[in-house]
Structure 1
Amino acid sequence: MSSHASNPARVVPLRPASAGPTGKEPLWRDVVGGVLRRERLAQERTLQDVADAARISMPYLSELERGRKEGSSEVLAAAAGALGLDLADLLALTQDELARRAAAGGRLGRVGSVPPLSVASRTTAPRNRSGGPLRHRGEVSLAA
């Protein structure tokens, strides 16, 4: 009988333990989920109400908000649409959240580590590709 030498498996982490000097980078699903939850709560709407409007199940929406599920672009667009946002608004809010976390001294932890931001509380409007302000569905500009 031959003796086999121990050959431990090499473990490659799915996410690096550290992403530069600022610490861990948040997962996309955590940030997007936090944005969806803040928007829903800012509108004082229930999970069931938004899930029905988005035509997705309430447990699935809950898992999206908690960062437990990674929603497809279609599901995220449906959830955003149920909140009166388009996908560009959701992406802009998510980008703002990531930028705020980076500016907050590298505190890139879970969603609750930085004060909430919603469309209603934005100080600067998101911009479209041509530099104009993003508008919600049905919103009309009164400026000349």
Structure 2
Amino acid sequence: MSRYEDRLNDYNRRQHADKLIFHTLGELVAMCGKLHNTWLYTNVDKWEQDPLHTPIYYFNEEWLEDQLAEGQATENERGDIVTHELRDAGLQSWFEMATFEDVVEVLHDAGEPVTLPMIVIALKYYYEYDAFLDYDDVEARLQLHDVLKQVADEQTSES
């Protein structure tokens, strides 16, 4: 099978939904490899505070354009199209689904168990630096976070 045929088969097997809402990061991770590539939207400030429970929205770009043409959507200050019902939610384009999947796939390539906190670390790094962290780098950052939390907890209990 040619590369073109492989890509066409991959494209055809993926869902082409107009709008999906993922209430948790885990729900979105479970859909990796199942959705057509389009932009994911979230309130980045809220996601930074609670990445596991901040809603993430999947919008088909053509559907958004149709919503805009029908007067059911508007452009926000960043130039992102958002539906009227979500215009006050602080949404902005965040990741393309394919990039999100790539960040997760890099971690899975190690063949080791991948946790949601590891995915959060890798996503935050990619979002800030436009670069991937491999499994070992994420694991080291997670261990450092755990040590710093233990130190902070001990200082708090001593006070």
Task: State the TM bucket, normalised to the shorter chain.
Answer: 0.3 to 0.5
Higher RCO (CA < 8 A, seq sep 6+): 1
Higher helix share: 2
**Bigger CA radius of gyration:** 1
